[in-house]
Amino acid sequence: MTTSPVSSEALLTADEFWDLPEPVHGGRIELVAGRVVTEMPVGELHAYLAVRLAAMLLAFVTENRLGRVYVELGHRLFGDPDTVRAPDVSFLARTAGSPIGVRYVDEPPALAVEIMSPDDREADVATKIEEYLDAGSARVWIVRPPNKTVTVHRPGGDAHTYTVRDTLTSDDAAFTAEGFELQLEQFFSE
């Protein structure tokens, strides 16, 4: 999804951003260093992979009571100026019974997953990776559907790209419970 700044002189806070109306033509908006950026609605393959991945993560997270899995939840990564990003899929460690808010959360995801669309620019994706990790995310996954790969980024600049011959594990997802396995051949198959 190509991002483009919306012209605006004043920087917005996360609270002001929350009060903005939905984009007229659909899509998603994020707040980056106080400025609104818009993203086009995703295509069918992107949406299919996002819900599939969320379901696979959710099954393990729920079974092991690790927290919650979200789709397009806004995470306030930085303040002054505020940055609110909404990864395609995210995971937050949460205790059972913790309240569920109605707005974005004021913390980075433990795991942020971005699924690349055909019009995404590598520079924009690299910026998101850096933002998530700088904010405190333990893992960032970049899913590239045409290549059928997932690149797992860790703090400190470590990154590894996995193919359909590989299986992602609990460590790749920053889960505290062992036993998670995501076979990429199965994930990318229809």
Fill in the DSSP letter of residue 34. T
pTM: 0.85
φ, ψ for residue 35, nearest 5 deg: -115, 140
pLDDT per residue rounded down to tens, the chain (190 residues): 444 444 446 888 888 888 777 776 666 777 888 888 877 778 899 999 999 999 999 999 999 999 999 999 999 999 989 899 999 999 999 877 788 888 899 999 999 999 998 888 999 999 999 999 999 999 999 999 999 999 999 999 999 999 999 999 999 999 999 999 999 999 998 7
Residue 78, strand partner residues: 83
Q: Would you call 102 helix, strand, or coil by DSSP? A: coil
Q: Are 149 and 163 in contact (CB under 8 A)?
A: yes
| pLDDT recorded at residue 167 | 98
Q: Would you call 38 helix, strand, or coil by DSSP? A: strand
**Domains in the chain, start-ordered, CATH in brackets?**
42-188 (3.90.1570.10)
